[in-house]
Structure 1
């Protein structure tokens, strides 16, 4: 059983720590208490009730041991413990694995996903977790396994209006939060290898809509959009923990082609590309997000790295005040081990060598994970003392690493 510190005791501990380190630092403890107080009332909105009911059914199907293993407080550091790499055979990313669930329990979890995701979003997630991972499992069972996706639950829809969950595994990490009437899905990492499985292109719109936008530009616009550099995600997944929490995106302002320099047709092409990502979320909730995107559409920057023909490996980025999108498409890794390798002779391969896709969607400038993003208990407060020079406690040690949140060097050049 997990040890839970009652909130009143935790409050006393935080207050005591603030007095030990100085009167002014009470603000840190007060901020944590304030975030806890921001848990929303339970929504009566039918669409939110439907989400809660789906999650309640899944929770009710779990044994007390599984439910306890899956459950964490809102804002717990487990929220940020995800990556795109396949979990090792004996590793534990936190939460519970698909392989620990019965067929009925796993079906109920997919009902939860179906409630949160649009038809397109659900199809992608289903293909990745079932078809794609099963395909890779036949190539190397010890590396890839559809039973190794992890579920972590945050908060409790039975008692609160703020709750969420994380699905984390190979080429998939989705972070859902319900807060009152609001629903979010960021950060959302979605990738695939191979690009085509059982005759279906897993992430088709992410690529075709990007080329439609790129091919609509004139020469001067292309000159601004196309950058040189490595085709890698700038704000992608970490090795085990999201290192880009509270990331400073300011270095990317002004890089690429600005939407205010696009004509109406090009702007619509840009919107179509953005919607491919935003509308992985159920339509009603995606509409709210897209309204925010449209409000800042003219302040969107588009960057492209790579060739401009349909068979070229590419990278692109969309930076809008309300959404950050990156896409990387290169040759296969796991599919090299298959009978057909990367040339398309195997039924799962595209045939053009572009079998390995990564994409990520975020809400920039501190909006990932929602309002509970920094509310993960006493260690947050201790990290504050260790990382801030004015406390002079930088020699403090922790049982997990503290990521450097400073902006990495932008290696792109025009």
Structure 2
């Protein structure tokens, strides 16, 4: 028979969890203030950016909120929607980068800027001229969708090779998925500028540490294939879908493994503004961490460009992370974070339009 203190402890823990969920899902005045503060900051940064543009530039940079271009995203070199850095003067570039920085953390900004900087490395690796437009650090485009407004939905994106960021603002709440960070080279090999640079090092290191912590019985569930796919399974689809969750669930892990798993989640979410990070962590806890799975395919050692690729994913009821390093001799990383129900702020938009319809 359990003692009264045991039940009291269980009740207290449940109340703490409920308080945490309330805090981060919008019913707490503190959390409402944090959401509103961030949305105000993003709105001001967007307005500042748009105010620097000519009418011709604004026609490229400011698109209707209901435009299909809002859902058009890719992580390959191509012409981008929006206004690219190459068509901006220094004042405009500073305003554009300020908008991106307002939505990310310091870690996220550093990774985004490092990804842009790898275009210089690719020019050298591929022996391209300095003014090459295929590997182009100036082909990163900014687009604002709709009018930045506290009453109406709006959003913005930052897109270029291996960087695709999307933010939707509805009723002073901000959503930040889908979100893609990639890296080519995954690690800059000896003999090239920025030698040893590894933009997504933390993500890979923690994932390998987590993989190394599992015993053989656990690995039988986790390792789905000895060969990794040649890209993320969901690629750049508008609506993400994977039929079933596979691998080992959070609830089947030891406490030490769960700690590593949560560390991996935190590394991914640390790229974004602290308000967005805490918002997503609270959602994951509310949805039941025990239903989130970790799966692996491919090589189990970090060969760092030795030619054998690897892939992992974190897959929950509402949340998906994919990481693939197989291309270019397993030295080319693609990684994405998706919301299975609320990419592009779909849940927020539905609630907003339903509320407007009832008025």
RMSD: 2.3
Q: Give 1:354 shift.
A: 3.7
> Which residue in the other structure is 1:411 paired with?
none
Call closer, same or farther: CA 1:244–1:154 in 2, change over 3 Å: closer
Structure 1 or 2: larger helix share?
A: 2
The yes-or-no answer on 1:134 pairing with 2:120 is: yes
Q: Summarize deviations over 1:322-350 as a string: whole Å, max 9, x none.
A: 32000011242xxxxxxxxxxxxxxxxxx
For normalisation by structure 1, the TM-score amounts to 0.68
Could you tell me whether the CA contact under 8 Å between 1:194 and 1:355 is conserved in 2?
yes
**Pick aligned residue for 1:60 from 38, 51, 59:** 51
Call closer, same or farther: CA 1:158–1:80 in 2, change over 3 Å: closer
- Partner Cα distance (2:179, 2:325) in 1: 17
> Which residue in the other structure is 1:12 paired with?
none
Could you tell me whether the CA contact under 8 Å between 2:234 and 2:241 is conserved in 1?
no
Could you tell me whether the CA contact under 8 Å between 2:46 and 2:144 is conserved in 1?
no
> Which residue in the other structure is 1:22 paired with?
none
> Which residue in the other structure is 2:27 paired with?
none
Structure 2 unpaired stretches of 5+: 1-32, 189-193, 351-359
> Which residue in the other structure is 2:89 paired with?
102
Runs of 4 or more, structure 1, over 3 Å off, are: 158-161, 372-375
Q: Give 1:167 shift.
A: 1.3
Call closer, same or farther: CA 1:267–1:75 in 2, change over 3 Å: farther
**Pick aligned residue for 2:336 from 333, 351, 360:** 360
The yes-or-no answer on 1:302 pairing with 2:288 is: no
> Which residue in the other structure is 2:29 paired with?
none
Q: Give 1:101 shift.
A: 0.6
How many correspondences in the alignment? 300
Q: SS in structure 1 opposite 2:321?
A: strand
**Pick aligned residue for 2:324 from 309, 323, 328:** 328
- Partner Cα distance (1:171, 1:84) in 2: 5
Q: Summarize deviations over 1:60-119 as a string: whole Å, max 9, x none.
A: 1111221122122224210121211101xxxx4322111111122111111111110011
> 1:13-412 maps to which residues of 2 (within 5 A)?
45-87=36-78, 92-129=79-116, 131-138=117-124, 139-140=127-128, 141-158=132-149, 160-196=151-187, 198=194, 199-228=196-225, 229-231=227-229, 232-237=231-236, 243-245=237-239, 247-249=240-242, 251-253=243-245, 255-295=246-286, 296-311=288-303, 312-332=308-328, 354-364=330-340, 366-371=341-346
Structure 1 unpaired stretches of 5+: 1-41, 238-242, 333-352, 376-414
Q: Summarize deviations over 1:161-180 as a string: whole Å, max 9, x none.
A: 53211112211111111223
For normalisation by structure 2, the TM-score amounts to 0.78
Q: Give 1:282 shift.
A: 0.6
Q: Give 1:137 shift.
A: 3.0
Could you tell me whether the CA contact under 8 Å between 1:211 and 1:310 is conserved in 2?
yes
Q: SS in structure 1 opposite 2:277?
A: helix
- Partner Cα distance (2:260, 2:269) in 1: 14
